[in-house]
Amino acid sequence: MEVDEISNFINSEKLSYIYMPTEIVANLVLAFIIGIAISYIYKKTHKGLSYSQSFMITNIFIAVIVCMVIMIIGNNLARAFALVGALSIIRFRTVVKDTKDTSYIFWSLAAGMASGTGSYFLAIAGSVFISIIAYLLHITNFGSIYKSEFILQFRAVLKKEEKSPLYDKIISKYAKTSTLLHAEPSGDGDSIMLSFDIVMKEDKRHDEFSAYIAKLNGVSEVALIAAKYDVDY
């Protein structure tokens, strides 16, 4: 009786391991390659100042690890529930700065799952298709409201006798709209660092605008940053 139970247990374990060594290596290599491709697309299409090298590496790890998890589960339902219970204790508290980064995480998850199940065509074709979509959205700047929006930053010396600073007149001349985003006085109180959201007039040049601001007396550290790529400030 005991021999039969042991034999049945061994047979059931063999059924749960449905991957040959060559399949395991092929699945992991494919997940790794697609993970690198995902990270490369992320690097080339990223916009803004929230770029993270660690996020690129994380995408590769996610694809490979999910591939391993899928192969561990195989066709064993009990093992799937055991993994769910084990992974449920993990808590992630990292805040994703760019909502688009979430889509790359799901892409890595899907690629890892497809690779782990041996769905090579789906993993490759799906990743190629998503890459094309990401590149097209990037080069067309899809969803952008303004193509002439900038962040203007500069330091101005505080002058009590001035009711209307000269930089206000220059901003009004060149900007369609302007919004004060940030004002930070210096430690001695003699100057202030200002940040404006600027939408340029269509007939005005941004390089000429920044040059005029820089020539003003009492103005220094002038920086004009293109804000059409969702700049974090």
Same domain, 130 and 169: no
Helix, strand or coil for residue 150?
strand
Q: Which pair of tokens denotes residue 173?
A: 């001349």
pTM (predicted TM-score): 0.58
d(CA 70, CA 155): 55
d(CA 158, CA 178): 20
Which one, of 151, 157, 147, 192, lies nearest residue 171 by Cα? Answer: 151
The distance from CA 210 to its chain's CA centroid, rounded to whole angstroms, is 30
DSSP characters for 155-216? EEE--TT-SS-HHHHHHHHHEEEEEEEEEEE-TTSSEEEEEEEEEE-TT--HHHHHHHHHHS
Q: Is residue 233 part of a domain?
A: no
| Alpha helical stretches, state H, 46-160 | 53-73, 77-87, 100-116, 120-139
Same domain, 117 and 67: yes
The pLDDT of residue 86: 59
Same domain, 131 and 59: yes
Q: Is residue 231 part of a domain?
A: no
Same domain, 117 and 158: no
Positions in the chain whose pLDDT score sits under 70: 1-19, 48-49, 78-79, 82-96, 144-148, 160-164, 189, 227-233
Instruction: List b or e across 72-86, with b for residues whose CB sees 16 or more CB atoms inside 10 angstroms.
Output: bbbebeeeeeeeeee
What is the total count of domains within the chain? 2
| Residue 142 DSSP code | T
Q: Is residue 144 part of a domain?
A: no
What are the two backbone dihedrals, phi and then psi, of residue 221, each rounded to the nearest 5 degrees?
55, 45
Same domain, 179 and 81: no
The pLDDT of residue 16: 47
The pLDDT of residue 139: 85
Residue 97 structural domain = 2-139
Beta partners for 28? none
The pLDDT of residue 47: 77
The pLDDT of residue 42: 92
Return the residue matching tokens 């749960």: 16
Q: Given 139, 173, 189, which residue is the final one in a domain?
A: 139
Q: Given 95, 111, 139, which residue is the final one in a domain?
A: 139
Positive or negative torsion for Cα 223, 226, 227, 232: negative
What are the two backbone dihedrals, phi and then psi, of residue 223, each rounded to the nearest 5 degrees?
-140, 130
The pLDDT of residue 147: 56
